[in-house]
Structures are given as C-alpha cells and as structure tokens.
Amino acid sequence: MRKLSLLKRKEPLSDTQLLMTITIGIFFVMYILAMILLGGGFLHAQQLFDMLNDNASLIIVSCGLTIVMIGGGIDISVGAVTSLTVMSCALYLNSGGSLIASMLIAIGIGLAFGLVQGFLISYLEIQPFIVTLAGMFFARGMTTILSVNPQKANHKAFAALREKKIKIDALGYRAKNGNLVPGTIEIGVVVAIVCVILVFLLLKNIRLGRNIYAMGGNQQSALMLGINVKRTRFMSYLISGLLSGVAGYVFLMHTGAGNATNAAGMEMNAIASAIIGGTLLTGGVGNVIGTFFGTLSLTTIKKIVVSSGLNAPWWQSITTGGMLCFFILLQSVVLGRRAKKKKT
C-alpha cells in the first residue's frame, strides 16, 4: 500500500511549468476583472479576437525569441527583420509579383538573417547582443533604402487573401441596431497559433528542443552530455530568423501596407512577452505557451489602461514597464523560495 501511495504521488511542477501556470492565472484574473469592472468591449469575445488579430505577428516573433532566450541567448534584430520583410513583400507585390513568391521572399529574408547571425554567434563566438544589434541596424537601413514612403500592397490575390476571415456566429454579439456581428478572426491568427503549437512540440518532444534547454541551463554540462552546443545555438537563431520572416508577412496581411517604421519596438515587446510568460534571461527555463499568454497579458493591460481613460501613449509604456518589473520580481521570489526548499 505504501508503494502504491508513493507511485500515485504527483511530482512537483518544474520551474518552467510553475512560471507558466502563474502567467496564465494572472492573465485570466486580469481579464475577468476587466469584464467585471470595465465591461464594454471586454464583455464580447471580439475584444479577445481583436487582441489576437492585432498581435499575431508579435506572437510569432515572441515564439522565436523564446527559443533563443531558453538557450541563453538574445536577438534584438527581430523587429527590424520583420519591418524589412513587410517592405520587401509590399514592393514586390506592387511590381506584379506572384503571391507564392512573396511568401518565399519573406521566408528567405528571415532565413538569411538567422543564417548569418547564427553563424557569427555560434561558430565565431561573437556576443549575441553585438551581432543582433548590427543586424537590427542593417535591416532598418535596408528598409529605408527600399522606400521612405508607405507602400500599400495593391495586389488582387493578396487582397483576396487579406479579406479571408474566420467568422464565428456563436461568439458574436448584437449591435445597437439589432444585427448580429459575428466573431471575426484573421488568417494571421491561425498562422500564429500554428507557430505556437509547432514551437511547443519542438521544445517538448524533439531532441533539438531538449538540447536547447540543456544548453541554456548549463553549457558545460551540455558539452559533457555530448550535445553539439554550437549547432544547437545556430539552429535556435535560424528558427528565430525564420519566424521573424513569417511574422513580417503576417504583419503585412494585417496592415496591408509597408512602412519604414513598421514593427518599431517589436523586439522589446517580444522580449517582455517572453519574460512575462516565464522565460528567464539566464536561459534554461521557459515555455512558448507561457509566452503566448504573456503576449495576451501585455496586450490586456494596455487595453485596460486605454479603457480607463488614460489614452496618452506614455501611460501604456509606464504600465508595460511596471508589469515587466512585477513579473521579474515575482520570478525571482518564487524561484528563490523553491531553491531554499530544495536545499532543506
């Protein structure tokens, strides 16, 4: 009987699972409180759908950054690469290019940056911050060279793709005139959710994902286990670059136009989303599901600020900074207490 009770006893949550659970719980608490105290759009499912529609590209970029950060790295070029992809694809579509080719261009740009930066960081052992900072400046400069003016993507096939939306009548609401407004989700949200699922499976079930966790936790231990650390780090940056290219195309599908200032600051929002989702900057701990809810939490607090009447943009920045500090402090306290319990 004692043996059976020991077998039935549940193992404690890992640091990754615990931080992810905290993030998900805080998101639902914030959203429910917003529904109760503010009402308005928060009472309709479309508010949540709009949050997903507006932030699909950020979710994809955050997935790539989560992989890099779990491996103990950083990539601050993702926003600029996304912007370059948006402008390049918009100009190509306006020149009469095909829809499929524009998608391949987006993937190619992302892979090119991931390939070069991953090689410099992994095999030449240059500091990730320096390499990705150079990549950020290069991508921004190339975007400006392509065009300093906004470029609307005037392409019939692309316009038809943009207009395709998933409508859910059951989650709609009645307008003031009595007409039913169905819940609407853009195609980009589907792409973002697919990316979240694929990255989750990569980190959980594929050897590369386990190697990334091991590398981020302790590089020397990973080497002793026979893990090819250089190749693992290279692959993490390659995937991050690829997802930045995909995010650029999703961003273009949402806005329909390219601009030199597109995705400005996206890399900072992506890092914040990953940290709020439970990914540690020191590496070895993190989960893409947590990052997904971290993005939603970040967006929710911004919506709450605006709904409260604080429309000035600096209030959103202040709130984001405060929320980020809160989660960093929370992570430190929770993990510190767990470490003390393990010692005792």
* 192-239 per-position pLDDT tens digit: 999 999 999 999 989 999 999 999 989 899 999 899 999 999 999 999
Please list the ranges in the chain whose pLDDT falls under 50. 1, 4-8
Instruction: Measure Cα distances from 251 to 58, 60, 208 in Å.
Output: 9, 10, 28
Q: What is the pLDDT of residues 291-342, one digit of tens each?
A: 999 999 999 988 888 887 777 777 878 888 888 888 888 777 777 766 666 6
The reported pLDDT for the residue numbered 281 is 85
How far is the C-alpha of 214 from the C-alpha of 308, rounded, in Å?
44
Between β-strands 165-174 and 180-186, what pairing exists: parallel, antiparallel or unpaired? antiparallel
Nearest to 273 by CA among 44, 95, 27: 27
How far is the C-alpha of 213 from the C-alpha of 208, rounded, in Å?
9
Q: Which domains can be identified in the chain, with CATH numbers?
A: 21-32+45-163+189-305+313-330 (1.10.3470)
> pTM value?
0.92
- Would you call 173 exposed, middle or buried from its count of C-beta atoms within 10 A (0-12, 13-18, 19+)? middle
**Where is 151: in which H helix or E strand?**
strand 151-152
The reported pLDDT for the residue numbered 14 is 77
Nearest to 80 by CA among 33, 124, 22, 143: 143
The reported pLDDT for the residue numbered 1 is 45
The dihedral built from the CA positions of residue 33, 39, 40 and 41, taken in this order, carries a sign that is positive
